[in-house]
Amino acid sequence: MLQLLWIVPALPAAGFVVLLLLNRHLSRRATALIGAGSVGLSAVVAILIAVSFITSPPPGDAYRQVLWTWFDTGGLAPQIAFYLDAMSVVFMVVITFVGFLIHLYSTEFMERDEGFTRFFMYMNLFVASMLVLVLADNLLLLYLGWEGVGMCSYLLIAFWQKDVQNVYCGRKAFIVTRVGDTALIVGLFLLFTQLHTLEIQPLMAGAAKNWAAGSGVAVAAAALLLGGAVGKSAQLPLQTWLPDAMAGPTPVSALIHAATMVTAGVYLIARTNVLFTLAPDVRLAVAIIGTVTLLYACFSALAQHDIKRVLAYSTMSQIGYMFLALGVAGWSAAIFHFMTHAFFKALLFLAAGVVIEALGGEHDIFKMGGLRRKLPTAFWAFIIGAASLSALPLITDGFYSKDLIIETSLGAVDGNAWLWLGALAGSLLTSIYAFRLVFVVFFGEQQTPVTLHPRWRMKLPLVVLSVLSVVGGFVWLPGWMGGFHPFETFLDTALPVTQTVAGSFAYTGVAALLTSLIAVVGVALATVWLVESRAALARFAARPTPHDVQTFWLNGWGFDWLYEHVFVIPVKWFARVARGDLVEPAFSGIAWLNLQAWRALSASQNGQLRVYIGVAGVGLAVIVAFVVLR
Amino acid sequence: MILLWYILIPAVAAPLAWLVSRSRPDLARWVALAGTALPLALVTWQWVSQAGALKAAFVAHGPGAAGLVQGTWLADVHATWIAPLGISFFLAEDGLTLIMLVLTFAMGLLAVLASWRGITARVGFFHFMILWTTAALAGVFLSLDLFLFYFFFEMMLIPMYFVIALWGHERRVYAAIKFFIFTQASGLLMLIAILALYFIHGRATGVYTFDFTQLLGTQMPSGTAFLLMLGFFAAFAVKLPAFPLHTWLPDAHTEAPTAGSVILAGVLIKIGAYGMIRFMVPLFPQAVYDFRTIGMILAVIGIIYGAIMAYAQTDLKRLVAYTSVSHMGFVLLGIFAWNTLALQGVVVQIVCHALSTGALFILVGTLQDRIHTRDMAKMGGLWAVAPRMGGTAMFFALASLGLPGLGNFVAEFLILVGTWQVSRWAAVLGAVGLVVATVYALWMMQRAFQGQETHALRFDDLVPRETAMYAALIAALVVIGFYPQPLIATARQTVTAAQQMTAGSPLSPEAASAAQTMIVDGATADDGQ
Amino acid sequence: MAAVSLDHGLILAAILFVIGFVGLLTRRNLIVALACIEIMLNAAGLAFVVAGARWGSADGQVMFLFVLAMAAAEVAVGLALAIRFRQSLGRLDVDDADEMKG
């Protein structure tokens, strides 16, 4: 069964090729069938492989499949090879399964779009690249997937390319992430030069064997990889592209900018956890970046009024939680949160897509309202998603994973109270903005008429994801709930176990109660402010200081402004100044000198025969005189 | 003897094309097609059938063999020409030559195909020039006698000059003269260096010869060697082109007809890289080592400056031309790094840049034929009008920015990882160049193809002849992207031999890696305590 | 008859040459310019003959014959040019022939 591994990425890739070649010879139905079907089949194969992997684990709990050697020169011989262990199984299944649901949803969502085929082409290519990323056996192949998903992200954000604004957003996403990617590839140079391989497992073994903890190379390597992860996962300081990425179609946001691609950074760090263990300073940086980003994104989310931008900031914030977990060596906790987040965030985006589509493309939440009776499916899906996002206790999958991260942030050996407090504060803010969204969009007065109701291909994914968002967390229950944790056991075959402080406050019932309470308090606050006293809130928000703060948060704390002035404007200025080429004057200067010399000399060549004869005669006389009189 | 055919077939086809065009102009196209396709088929056949020989040559004379000896060639022709002056007709072929020949004939073929509809004036003369250039280029890559090399080097200049000056665009004469003067002046510097080398070697040994294999290892004072190296460097850096000698290239590319741009970008500028690997570095390893820092600085400036300049342009063709400056910066970087990884990267880059940039030039050409402008301000939204063209442009734009999975990435990665082992900062700055490449590539796509179509342009999408051309190029780039090994294996023997010629100098990878290991060992030892 | 001394002969030749040269520089008529060239050629011829007489050698006279032949050819070509010149420009002013100026 495991031998079929290569088929998993090959199917969507084949879907891409078929769509590319047959393009306009295909009916919409055939396109949808190929586009969604290839991913669906891939999901089936992935699940079969996962079952086989779990029931009869391969030796060493990992399976490696070599397809061919990419190239081989100068000691560098990366292979096109896939590596399957518990972590890649989780990623593979989530990507193909959630990917399939979103493809299915898209067949209805995009059905009137003129770029239908192009859309599925890009989506299939994306799924293939993402699978290559998580299955890659060496860092160079991982980088291939890494750039592939970045490119698909660009193509899909800029999908409605007639509007230059969308294209701008796509370019921004690609360029900002590529800044991070540059760090990543430099990290690859360093790793290869030092350890003479790019194959992940030998690389990690080599690093652990040859490098001392905290040594310069280890820190440099980890920091460079972190640079790549930060760019891809939209963490500070390279987070600015994600809110703008919402310019793409909503299924794209659900798949790429929520469920899968943006978590690639989490995957990378978890995959190279050995390096990060060797560089405690960098790991602390990961935790701090995660915490700061999650708070930053929460505040920004509070001020947004574009439904997708709220969700974008919430994605950023949830990935902040994953980074926090990684930073305190809670590797499995991060992967757990990746999985639950993929379910509920995809759900939220898809539900938001239903709302947007129903209102004829309206994004502004204040022009929605009162939709709970008109769009019941979307409403319930959104409630479940928001509850999960806010980590409401017991009945949501987000609770189990986020609770785990919060407790690890304090209880792990590397955890500390500041991180814990940050995570708790984030949890409070998350519930507030999540339920602000619910109340503003689905309660109150209806502002815009509903013109379109979803049919089964859009409803089915919502239902499935809703169910998963409820039960998805039951695979890893906290200790005080009986300690049923097959997910952890499974991941432990691939990831190191988190070292915890025995008897830490984090693992007491009080701490668990506190975490649960905070989420509930957040929901209560949102209810009070937005349902009971919305007018008062509006009055408060209109006052100068809160208004300025809100604008500041709305604009993502001025990062765009800063980067615009520090990077974009100088480069543009230089480009404008240098347009005619700065070196050119030197060469045209030589040409100009020649021209002047030519002018001077050609003045003597006046065509007057008599002058020529005279000069020739005088010249001859001078020469003769010189020879004779010398 | 097969080597002679590579030069003779296009050289004979050239006057033939001219002659037949007097009665039937269209026949000239077919003659030119045959004149490039035939040697292409021949060289491909040779490549396929000699793959084993290449490997054997590597095994037999590879690691451990003392330099480049006769017999490691796949084929050679050695005849006396002007015996009293020590000039011989010495042609030889190894893996790198093979690759360059494939490239030459493939680009010649593409040039003929690309001008099938575009060139209507003086058809016969045009194809005469294209074939003549092809023949001269084949000669350049085959000759190992420095005088013969210089002969072909100059011979290729003249038809190229006419191609630009006669069939070019608005400022064609200016561009052609600029191209001619730059190349000619720097070529003369190389001639001086060749002659000086000839006399120095002759005085020292009594054997006056232009034979490259005999001139290797000529002893001379280091100051002299440095000056002679600069003579070669000038010629090759202008060709490449390296910053700051690049300014002829945007003009020449912009003004040249499509076929001219394809040959310029595809093959002509690669002579710079080829000449450095084949002649300059092996002849003067110590001088190149002394020059390495400056060379790498120039390369890095070229990468980033070329990319920013590409971003600054409004003329689509000029933009593409500046991307060449940026990409050739990588080539220069790899040559100065001079280790196996970097050199293999250079070879792959030579091929992939030819394919991707050649395709972009053809694309701009087809676009210009249809809408009669290259000004991006007058474009926008063309994807909606011609989706196949838009998709093709997107592919080559992505290739240009070094997307993994396409050949350009393999090349740039190998070059940068090789460079890292010599100079970290150069590698980092080169990698930054990839970000700027993203900026210009996407900017180009936005201005020309995306956005709202406002100029009411209506034109036909790609016709089958064009689609076939692009499909072949796309397939080649993807194949190289996922399996560049045949290319690497073919060039391996050349790269190893070239490195062995510099074995005694500090330039050799052994010396570099020894130094590197010392640093690393020192670092780890310190860290371990 | 006393032989003409070498010095006198050469001085006469020099004077003739200078007359021809000055004429060439000052006169603009093409025919006159040709005549001046004839004078200069003959001055050179005279110098040959005088020198030949001084050394008792026939070479001087042989050279003079060459000069004569050359002068004849030069006049033939020159006059032909003059006719074409006159036909195309309508005048015989040498200063009009300045098409080759830089």
Q: What is the ipTM of this complex?
A: 0.89
Contact at 8 Å (CB) between A434 and A390? yes
Contact at 8 Å (CB) between A69 and B482? no
* A3-13: pLDDT as tens digits: 888 899 999 99
Contact at 8 Å (CB) between A159 and A249? yes
| pLDDT(A508) > 80 | no
Short-list B32, B98, B110, B46, CA closest to B473: B110
Radius of gyration of chain A (CA): 30
Token pair in block for residue C11: 């001085």
pLDDT value at position C96?
A: 78
Q: Beta-strand (E) ranges in B280-408?
A: none
Mutate to test the interface with A, among B298, B308, B450 (most CBs of A within 10 A): B450
pTM, whole model, 2 decimals? Answer: 0.87
Neighbours of chain C (3+ CB pairs under 8 A): A
Please state, in angstroms and rounded to a whole number, the distance separating the CA atoms of residues B45 and B47.
5
Token pair in block for residue A181: 């990617």
* B230-274: pLDDT as tens digits: 999 999 999 988 888 888 899 888 888 888 889 988 899 999 999
Please state, in angstroms and rounded to a whole number, the distance separating the CA atoms of residues B305 and B311.
10
State the helix-helix crossing angle for B340-371 and B407-420, rounded to 10 degrees. 140
Chain A closest-CA separation from residue C15 CA (Å)? 15
Instruction: Identify any residues that bridge with B89 across adjacent strands, giving them in sequence order.
Output: B79
Chain A closest-CA separation from residue B408 CA (Å)? 12
Please state, in angstroms and rounded to a whole number, the distance separating the CA atoms of residues A185 and A198.
11
Contacts of B280 (CB under 8 A, 6+ apart): B229, B232, B233, B236, B288
Token pair in block for residue A126: 């994306």
More confident call, A349 vs A506: A349
Please state, in angstroms and rounded to a whole number, the distance separating the CA atoms of residues C96 and A321.
94
Tell me, yes or no, if A538 comes closer than 8 A to chain C by beta carbon.
no
Please state, in angstroms and rounded to a whole number, the distance separating the CA atoms of residues A58 and B239.
56
Tell me, yes or no, if C100 comes closer than 8 A to chain A by beta carbon.
yes
Neighbours of chain A (3+ CB pairs under 8 A): B, C
pLDDT value at position B513?
A: 55
Contacts of B70 (CB under 8 A, 6+ apart): B76, B213
DSSP for residue A57: P
Which residue's structure tokens are 């291939």? A144
Token pair in block for residue A2: 């495991």
| pLDDT(A528) > 90 | no
Is the previous residue joined to A249 through a cis bond, with omega within 30 degrees of 0? Answer: no
| pLDDT(B175) > 70 | yes
DSSP for residue B118: T
pLDDT value at position A266?
A: 92
Which residue's structure tokens are 């040697």? B39
HSE toward the beta carbon, residue B506, CA cutoff 13 A:
10
Q: Which residues of B137-164 are buried (b: 16+ CB within 10 A; e: fewer)?
A: bbbbbbbbbbbbbbbbbbbbbebbbbbb
pLDDT value at position B63?
A: 43
Contact at 8 Å (CB) between B344 and A74? yes
Chain B closest-CA separation from residue A269 CA (Å)? 21
Q: Which pLDDT band, with edges at 50, 70 and 90, does C92 fall under?
A: confident
The listed range with the strongest mean pLDDT (B24-28, B30-34, B67-71, B502-506) is: B30-34
| pLDDT(A514) > 50 | yes
Tell me, yes or no, if A21 comes closer than 8 A to chain C by beta carbon.
no
- Residue numbers in A near B527 (CB within 8 A): 211-212, 214-217
| pLDDT(B327) > 50 | yes
| pLDDT(B516) > 60 | no
Residue B187: alpha-carbon gap to chain centroid: 17
Length of chain A: 630
Q: Note whether C touches B: 3 CB pairs or more under 8 A.
A: no
Q: Return phi, psi of residue A578, to 5°.
A: -90, 5
pLDDT value at position A503?
A: 75
Contact at 8 Å (CB) between B505 and B498? no
Instruction: Identify any residues that bridge with B77 across adjacent strands, giving them in sequence order.
Output: B91
Please state, in angstroms and rounded to a whole number, the distance separating the CA atoms of residues A148 and A144.
6
Please state, in angstroms and rounded to a whole number, the distance separating the CA atoms of residues B183 and B159.
13
| pLDDT(B512) > 60 | no
Q: Which pLDDT band, with edges at 50, 70 and 90, does A540 fall under?
A: confident
> What's the CA angle centered on A236, arms A149 and A146, to 5 degrees?
15
- Residue numbers in B near A151 (CB within 8 A): 398, 403
| Helix (H), strand (E), coil (C) string for A284-315 | HHHHHHHHHHHHHHHHHHHHCCEHHHHHHHHH
CB A614 to CB C25 under 8 A? yes
* B95-129: pLDDT as tens digits: 888 899 999 999 999 888 888 887 788 888 888 89
* A150-207: pLDDT as tens digits: 999 999 998 888 888 888 899 899 999 999 999 999 999 999 988 888 889 898 888 8
Tell me, yes or no, if A603 comes closer than 8 A to chain C by beta carbon.
yes
Token pair in block for residue B179: 């191209």
| Helix (H), strand (E), coil (C) string for A191-216 | HHHHHCCCEHHHHHHHHHHHCCCCCH
Mutate to test the interface with B, among A130, A185, A588, A598 (most CBs of B within 10 A): A185
| pLDDT(B218) > 90 | no
Phi-psi sector, A72: left (phi>0), alpha (psi -120 to 50), beta: beta
What is the enclosing helix (H) or strand (E) of A70? none
* Three-class secondary structure of residue A500 per DSSP: strand
Chain B (338-397) residues lying within 8 Å, Cβ to Cβ, of chain A: 339-341, 344, 381, 383-384, 394
- Residue numbers in B near A74 (CB within 8 A): 339-341, 344, 414, 418
- Residue numbers in B near A140 (CB within 8 A): 404, 413
More confident call, B515 vs C15: C15
Q: Which pLDDT band, with edges at 50, 70 and 90, does B57 fall under?
A: low
Which residue's structure tokens are 């005085």? B203
Please state, in angstroms and rounded to a whole number, the distance separating the CA atoms of residues B361 and B347.
21
pLDDT value at position B511?
A: 56
- Residue numbers in A near C25 (CB within 8 A): 610, 613-614, 617
* Three-class secondary structure of residue A32 per DSSP: helix
CB A606 to CB C102 under 8 A? yes
Tell me, yes or no, if B513 comes closer than 8 A to chain A by beta carbon.
no
Chain C closest-CA separation from residue A588 CA (Å)? 22
Q: Return phi, psi of residue B434, to 5°.
A: -65, -30
Amino acid making up residue A270:
A
* B476-496: pLDDT as tens digits: 999 999 998 888 888 888 888
pLDDT value at position B350?
A: 92
Q: Which pLDDT band, with edges at 50, 70 and 90, does A475 fall under?
A: confident
Contacts of B309 (CB under 8 A, 6+ apart): A575, A578, A579, A581, B250, B322, B325
Contact at 8 Å (CB) between A35 and A120? yes
pLDDT value at position B196?
A: 92
User: Looking at residues A283-312, what average pLDDT do you find?
Assistant: 90
Please state, in angstroms and rounded to a whole number, the distance separating the CA atoms of residues A526 and B232.
75
Amino acid making up residue A44:
V
| pLDDT(B370) > 90 | no
Average pLDDT value for chain B: 85
Please state, in angstroms and rounded to a whole number, the distance separating the CA atoms of residues B51 and B490.
7
Chain B closest-CA separation from residue A17 CA (Å)? 12
| pLDDT(B522) > 50 | no
> What's the CA angle centered on C17, arms C13 and C22, to 5 degrees?
150
More confident call, B345 vs B371: B345
What are the residue boundaries of the structural domains of chain B, listed by start?
A: 303-501
pLDDT value at position B525?
A: 37
Amino acid making up residue B111:
A
